[in-house]
Amino acid sequence: MDTDALTTGLLQDLRATRPYPALSLTMPTHRRAPENAQDAVRLRNLVAEASNRLEADPDVSREVRAAIKEQLDRAVAEVDPRRALESLVVLATADEYQIWQLPRTAPERVILSDTYLTRNLVAAKAQATPFWALTVSAEHATLWSGTTDAVHQEERSGFPLKAPHEAPNPQREERIGDTPSTFSNEDTRQFLRTVDEQLRTLLAADPRPLYLVGLAPALAMLDEVGEASKSAAGRVTKGAPADTAPAELLKELRPALDSHRKRTAEEIEGRLDVARGSRSFAGGLDEVWAAVREGRAGLVAVEEHFQTTVEVTDEHLEPVAPGAVQGATGDIREDIVDELIEAALNSGSEVVFLADDSLSEHGGIAAALRY
């Protein structure tokens, strides 16, 4: 599954306590050859490690062990290397398995617990900045779910919608001399009111930036008859046939996506400047980590590809080389940034990603504090 499938409800389900053991397997992957040749070997090695861990665990019965191995084998057989991104996450119990391809890297790891590991999923979803796009006309309204890399049509909240077609009325046309304009037609207005109602329901359940694609009269009437479209992050004034291809739609959306991204970055930089002036600012991984743990971070800004390995000692973070051996007094965390992002979101913080090097003077991460 892709990160935009990670809804609030699904995340809650993934975090639910399960009968021990719930297996979480994570590993970095590669999008292209020749680097991706190593991914299959790495996956086999991790599966072997998971099998050995299950065999050695006295709390895992033979029946449960066999069932989890079967689920894991099914998952591995289903992994499609052609869809590889930056990492792979496989989750499995005796009753199910899930496969996630993520656009953010994750370390090699095999974990047996009573819950699934979710930090890498949450951080990847936050970095992907999912959005909604609505292609709309007087005849149809189609909902799309997207990230910076792809879009796909979504059947949700009543979408796609089609306008009901009224049979032609020759007598009416004879009286007025012509068919009425599409966008002065009350039926069209009612159709777009329905679109607005469904859109408001969607945004209330799953808030994301919204982009609108359609001819100017259609977008103007949608604004006129409703409220949801007025908060759109961007608009593409162009006809959008019902059979628009995903790749073509993403191409049309790209300027609007880039413009919104630029505006967001400027806004975040301004908020961080205000925080510095009011002494409610934290810079660097150790300071931001402490602020998040204390629930004081209102906004956390992270460079897109900032990830590092640290040793946690006395509740402070010290950078160490990747692959470092666990210390006698410390705890090595290879994905501490993903862990921090998940903790920040759980505490109600806003998490945003900025371009690489934009926070270089603060070590790649900064926060504006609530107090």
Q: Which residue has the tokens 């053991």?
A: 21
Q: What pLDDT score does 173 carry?
A: 41
Give CA–CA dist 126/115, Å, rounded: 21
pLDDT of 206 over the 70 cut = yes
Give CA–CA dist 143/199, Å, rounded: 9
**Per residue in 334-369, pLDDT tens?**
999 999 999 999 999 999 999 999 999 999 999 999
Give CA–CA dist 325/168, Å, rounded: 77
Instruction: Tell me the mean pLDDT in the region 198-215.
Output: 95
Q: Helix (H, G, I), strand (E, B), or coil: what is residue 368?
A: strand
Q: Half-sphere exposure of residue 322, counting CA atoms within 13 Å on the CB side?
A: 6
Q: What pLDDT score does 33 carry?
A: 87
**Per residue in 25-60, pLDDT tens?**
999 999 998 888 899 999 999 999 999 999 999 999
**Per residue in 104-119, pLDDT tens?**
999 999 999 999 999 9
Instruction: Tell me the mean pLDDT in the region 291-316.
Output: 93
Task: Output 253-262 pairs: Cβ under 8 A, ≥24 positions apart.
Answer: 253/133, 253/146, 253/151, 253/211, 253/213, 256/211, 257/131, 257/148, 257/211, 259/234, 260/209, 260/233, 260/234, 261/129
Tell me which amino acid residue 343 is. Answer: A
Q: Helix (H, G, I), strand (E, B), or coil: what is residue 323?
A: coil
Give counts: helices (H), strands (E), the chain: 10, 17
Report the DSSP beta bridge partners of residue 211: 133, 234
Instruction: Tell me the mean pLDDT in the region 215-221.
Output: 95
